[in-house]
Amino acid sequence: MTDTQKTTSLAERLAARFGDTLKISVVRNETTAELAAADLLAVATALRDEPGFRFSELVDVCGVDYLGYGQTEWDTTDVTSTGFSRGVEGEAMGRFDWADRPRGASLDQPRRFAAVIHLLSIEHNRRLRLRVFCADDSLPLVPSLTGIWPGANWFEREAFDLYGIIFDGHPDLRRILTDYGFVGHPFRKDFPLIGNVEVRYDPEQKRVVYEPVTSVVPRVLVPRVIRDDADLMQAKAEAADDWRRN
């Protein structure tokens, strides 16, 4: 690496090399580059091979479902004292679909599915996140990276299994975590928490049978995170007192 490269940030070098092909952001010293699916293979090859980047290691490929992105269901300041779902307000994922999702003025997400790729350059000791949105929500499709980083194979199969993202060009794209007869993609946020089918052994037929779920009753299972609880407020007050004393 030259002296100029050492003093130039990764974001600056990406912008100089790829221009408008990448939409670059840096948050908490983490660099993310968003790009179109059509540009993925060319950009990935350059990131792997060019001396200024040398991202030789693919760390991870995962899927993301932005259904209900930025929405919260828990009321943490004004709730009743009874009922299983007493802190829940609004609609949960699994009870609305993409077209009818709740939207905020600043939180609307025009595309639902994305593939996220994490890269590591051992030579330059740098990390990079690539994000590729799928253009079609009904058939989410991105190119496979197995021809560039063979280690993407099982990661892409996992994203296909859990999110239904198709990786075009994958040599063996099939489920890797769920059963052969599994219906749907369980990490999609409109996937019902009780599932679509249940399995039982039928003694009369003497075999395992699949049938619609009837033995499980749906209920709200929203994780609750209180961000302004008493302990946190006390800790902030004590930290402010310590700062003033020092």
User: Which of 38, 58, 57, 62 lies closest to 168, judged by CA?
Assistant: 38
Instruction: Give yes or no for a contact between 91 and 115, defined as CB atoms under 8 angstroms apart.
Output: no
User: What does the pLDDT look like over 74-95, one tens digit per residue?
Assistant: 555 555 555 544 555 555 556 6
Residue reference for tokens 């990079």: 128
Instruction: Give yes or no for a contact between 67 and 188, defined as CB atoms under 8 angstroms apart.
Output: yes
The model's pTM: 0.74
User: How far is Cα 30 from Cα 11, in angstroms, rounded to an integer?
Assistant: 10
Long-range (24+ apart) CB contacts under 8 A made by 3-8 are 5/52
The amino acid present at 2, given as its one-letter code, is: T
- Mean pLDDT lowest among 81-85, 166-170, 175-179, 202-206: 81-85
Mean pLDDT of the 106-132 span: 90
User: Which of 43, 63, 47 lies closest to 55, judged by CA?
Assistant: 47
Domains and CATH numbers, the chain: 3-245 (3.30.460.80)
pLDDT at 3: 46
User: What does the pLDDT look like over 137-156, one tens digit per residue?
Assistant: 999 999 999 999 999 999 99
What are 207's two structure tokens? 């075999």
Of 106 and 60, the one with more pLDDT: 60
Mean pLDDT over each residue of the chain, to the nearest integer? 82
Instruction: Give yes or no for a contact between 112 and 134, defined as CB atoms under 8 angstroms apart.
Output: yes
pLDDT at 128: 97
User: How far is Cα 131 from Cα 149, in angstroms, rounded to an integer?
Assistant: 16
Would you tell me how many other CB atoms lie within 10 Å of the CB of residue 103? 13
- Mean pLDDT lowest among 47-61, 204-218, 221-235: 221-235
Q: Please check the confidence at residue 219 and state whether its pLDDT lies above 70.
A: no
- Mean pLDDT lowest among 107-121, 148-162, 172-186, 211-225: 211-225
User: How far is Cα 145 from Cα 41, in angstroms, rounded to an integer?
Assistant: 7
